[in-house]
């Protein structure tokens, strides 16, 4: 492919990542579940190309996704696409580890693990650095001060440019920021947590003071509640959906919940009136939270990428009245 950057779509909004100066597309593309299980290299290239054409510059990954294979696939896709490194933001997350049963190599954020985990991720990506490195969960067995120092040193070494948290409590985030400020270290700038019309309390309530005091960012995941908010599960679980994947029986059970499906269906008349899909409606709603830096979308086919990024045209339609109507429908 030609050595050209992802498109700068005039309809795409680019927001600052928390209180940092980094600007990220308000809609982004992530690899959880899909890479390796549903997408091979060729389809990954096509989906990332479609996201880039829509103005996406933020691509999310994690060490634990497909046991490291997701990072490898995304790295190969980036090389195939030929995008210059300055044109995109790539992120990854560490905590779970890849070596089961080995002390210091799983379920930890100690210094030894973090220093080796970033090296492994960069090798799998084939990159010199990632733009954002997340601590994928908090580690109750490692002092937060040790984790903050290690993340600071990783950034100072140039192997990551920013760092963040994922599914940490507000108290843990505040503790990390306080330690960093006390020692003049690089502070975390963003959280990555689940947020959607059905899962709101953590982002809107627990993080309220952290958001307001520190302008902490959030690169939210599961804007469609694992697909439930698309409305496509009212007639059962399609064979090509993530709910049909082996090992995701827990998800299939949730997606088959009649009460949840009936609740979501109350959004359909609103989507029909606005001339959009239910998925686009749900994604657009997430962007209305000013503390959301980007909404991470996932897809197993190009048509889904195009549909998801079509939500950018729905955002202006979500007036305060429409937003209130949507929230009332699910109350």
Report the catalytic residues: 65
CB neighbours of residue 301 within 10 Å = 16
Q: Which of 189, 143, 184, 142 is nearest to 166 (CA)?
A: 189
According to DSSP, the β-strands at 23-25 and 14-16 are antiparallel
CB neighbours of residue 281 within 10 Å = 25
Q: Alpha-carbon distance 31 to 93, whole Å?
A: 12
Q: Alpha-carbon distance 174 to 180, whole Å?
A: 10
Q: Which of 90, 33, 98, 40 is nearest to 60 (CA)?
A: 90
Q: Is 213 exposed, middle or buried (0-12, 13-18, 19+ CB in 10 A)?
A: exposed
């Amino acid at each position: 492919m030609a050595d050209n950057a992802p498109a700068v779509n005039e309809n795409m909004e680019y927001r600052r990542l928390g209180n940092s100066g980094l600007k990220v597309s308000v809609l982004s593309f992530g690899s959880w579940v899909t890479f390796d299980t549903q997408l091979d290299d060729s389809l990954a290239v096509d989906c990332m190309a479609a996201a880039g054409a829509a103005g996406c510059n933020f691509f999310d990954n994690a060490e634990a996704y497909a046991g490291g294979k997701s990072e490898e696939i995304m790295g190969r896709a980036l090389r195939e696409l030929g995008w210059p490194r300055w044109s995109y933001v790539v992120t990854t997350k560490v905590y779970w580890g890849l070596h089961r049963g080995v002390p210091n190599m799983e379920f930890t954020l100690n210094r030894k693990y973090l220093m080796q985990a970033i090296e492994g991720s960069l090798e799998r990506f084939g990159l010199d650095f990632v733009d954002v490195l997340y601590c994928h969960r908090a580690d109750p067995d490692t002092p937060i001060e040790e984790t903050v120092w290690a993340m600071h040193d990783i950034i100072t070494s140039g192997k990551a440019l920013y760092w963040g948290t994922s599914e940490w409590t507000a108290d843990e985030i505040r503790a990390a920021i306080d330690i960093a400020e006390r020692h003049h270290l690089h502070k975390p700038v963003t959280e990555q947590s689940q947020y959607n019309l059905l899962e709101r309390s953590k982002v809107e309530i627990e993080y309220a003071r952290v958001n307001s005091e520190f302008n902490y960012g959030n690169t939210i995941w599961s804007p469609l509640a694992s697909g439930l908010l698309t409305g496509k599960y009212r007639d059962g679980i399609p064979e090509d959906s993530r709910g049909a994947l082996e090992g995701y029986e827990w998800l299939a059970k949730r997606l088959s919940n009649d009460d949840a499906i009936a609740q979501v269906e109350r959004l359909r008349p609103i989507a029909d009136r606005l001339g959009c899909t239910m998925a686009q409606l749900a994604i657009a709603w997430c962007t209305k939270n000013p503390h959301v830096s980007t909404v991470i979308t996932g897809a197993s086919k190009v048509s889904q990428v195009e549909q998801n990024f079509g939500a950018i045209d729905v955002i202006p339609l979500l007036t305060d009245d429409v937003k209130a109507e949507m929230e009332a429908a699910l109350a």
